Amino acid sequence: MTASNNIPLPLEGVTIVSLEQAIAAPLCTRHLAEQGARVIKVERPGNGDFARAYDDRVHGLSSHFVWVNRSKESLTLNLKSEAGQGVLHRLLAEADVFVQNLAPGACERMGVSYAQLHEQYPKLIVCDISGYGQGGPYEQKKAYDLMIQSESGFLSVTGSPESDGMAKAGCSVADIAAGMYAQNAILSALLLRGRTGEGSHIDVSMLESLVEWMGYPMYYSFEGATPPPRAGAAHSTIYPYGPFPVGDGRTVMLGLQNEREWRAFCEQVLECPDLTDDIRFASNPLRSNNRGELKALIERVFAGMTLEDVSRRLDNAGIANASVNTMDQVWQHPQLSARERWLSVKTQAGVVPALKSPGLWFPEAVSEVPAVGQHSGAILAELGYCREGIEQLKNDGVI
């Protein structure tokens, strides 16, 4: 498979076998697939990846599954059977990367942990994605995205200021963080193998991935200092930075970063130049500490304006601002349309729109969202199974 400009795809010739479920590992492998890798997704016979049943919002298919599973091949295998194990090892013998995010210890019990595989397949890169990583007192602890948002401290700084105001992120941030760090590590491991000829063991935890994202609030509260307070959709320590209502009933999101912008905001947006040197607001810490008074002043000015008026003044003053969009408005976003960021992807329920992967983009590497076991027969035939043998595996419940 080669890109239309005759430049080889970055991961052309790389084969990835994945025992994946839910979000973290599937997101990782989808991005690798769309850089040219062949991804063989191993699923349970019958229902497959349990994320297929999370909801039915995309023509009867799961929104989560459609998002993270395009551009792959689906092979069903009963890995509790000897025959299923045999198929898996035939795949691994030819694979470059093995990715898994099963329950802690599951791969070791099946004989496919890194320690068990490395002697057989020394060039194989093994990537384990889990909630808490291997070793340590939390190794066997069950982990879902919300649990990791809690353990990482994310919930302690997210939500509204009220005592019961904690709020989770509206998407699976811990899963996404782990998936993207896993993708990055796999790319590094492929480069390393090119120099050494040896595969690597990659151990990515959701906890460590999200704690990495918590660097600012952690350092802000360094050595027992007061942590950033919950501030709803506003910034906890920079002000004005957040949502403000305007006169037409809508909301503008704006953010100031420095004193130059504060002066422009007072002079050109609020049209209150005297406010620039008000001792209550003479620095960001003072503005943040006196945000209630400043908020009232801003809202009083914005009450007589429309969102379009406010946005125009903010743009002219060089101050960052945004609309608070609904999901429907994001589907119709003019910037995404102007940059032609949408494509059509086939599913078993019909064609659906999908966002192109950010960064390097190779349309030839994108393919449909697979049905459960859609490619089982073709993959087994490649491995040397005859038609009768494949039928026998099907009859025995192996595929």
Give a three-class secondary structure readout of the chain.
Answer: CECCCCCECCCCCCEEEEECCCCHHHHHHHHHHCCCCEEEEEECCCCCCHHHHCCCCECCECHHHHHHCCCCEEEECCCCCHHHHHHHHHHHHHCCEEEECCCCCHHHHHCCCHHHHHCCCCCCEEEEEECCCCCCCCCCCCCCHHHHHHHCCHHHHCECCCCCCECCCCCCHHHHHHHHHHHHHHHHHHHHHHHHCCCCEEEEEHHHHHHHHCHHHHHHCHHHCCCCCCCCCCCCCCCCEEEEECCCCCEEEEECCCHHHHHHHHHHHCCCHHHHHCHHHCCHHHHHHCHHHHHHHHHHHHCCCCHHHHHHHHHHCCCEEEECCCHHHHHCCHHHHHCCCEEEEEECCEEEEEECCCCCCCHHHCCCCCCCCCCHHHHHHHCCCCHHHHHHHHHCCCC
Q: Span 290-319, mean pLDDT?
A: 96
**Contacts of 268 by beta carbon, 8 Å cutoff, 6+ apart:** 313, 316, 317
Question: Tens digits of per-residue pLDDT, 170-189?
Answer: 999 999 999 999 999 999 99
User: pLDDT, tens digit, for every residue of 77-119?
Assistant: 999 999 999 999 999 999 999 999 999 999 999 999 999 999 9
Predicted confidence band at 1 (pLDDT cuts at 50, 70, 90)?
low
Instruction: Quote the pLDDT of residue 164.
Output: 80
The pLDDT of 379-393, averaged and rounded, is 96
Residue 244's beta-bridge partner residues?
Answer: 252
Class of domain 15-213+341-395: alpha beta
**Chain region(s) in the chain for CATH 3.30.1540.10:** 241-324
Q: How far apart are CA 179 and CA 24, in angstroms?
A: 4
Alpha carbon 93 to its chain's center: 30
For domain 241-324, give the fold.
formyl-coa transferase, domain 3 (3.30.1540)
Task: Determine how β-strand 125-130 pairs with β-strand 97-100.
Answer: parallel
Asked if the model's pLDDT at residue 278 lies above 90, the reply is: yes
Catalytic residue among 49, 96, 145, 175: 175
- The total number of residues shown for the chain amounts to 399
Tell me what the pLDDT averaged over the chain comes to: 95
Separation CA 160–CA 192 (nearest Å): 45
Share of the chain above pLDDT 70, in %: 98
Query: What is the per-residue pLDDT for 217?
Result: 94
- pLDDT at residue 310 tops 70: yes
Question: pLDDT value at position 341?
Answer: 95
- Binned at pLDDT 50, 70 and 90, residue 5 comes out as low
How many angstroms separate the CA atoms of 74 and 71, rounded?
10
Asked whether residue 163 carries a pLDDT value surpassing 90, the answer given is: no
Q: b/e map of 53-63 (b: 16 or more CB within 10 Å)? A: eeeeebeebbe
User: Does 256 have pLDDT greater than 80?
Assistant: yes
**In whole angstroms, how large is the CA radius of gyration of the chain?**
26
- For the packed helices 24-33 and 173-196, what is the interaxial angle rounded to 10 degrees? 50
The pTM is what?
Answer: 0.92
Would you state the pLDDT for residue 3? 52
Cβ atoms 41, 75 nearer than 8 A: yes
Structure tokens at 147: 């649990």
Q: What percent of the chain is modeled with pLDDT above 90? A: 92
Residues 6+ apart with CB under 8 A from 358: none
Place of tokens 């349990």: 50
List where CATH 3.40.50.10540 sits in the chain: 15-213+341-395
pLDDT score recorded for residue 162: 83
| 128 in catalytic set | no
pLDDT tens for each residue of 188-235: 999 999 999 999 999 999 999 999 999 999 999 999 999 998 888 889
Cβ(102)–Cβ(79) under 8 Å?
no
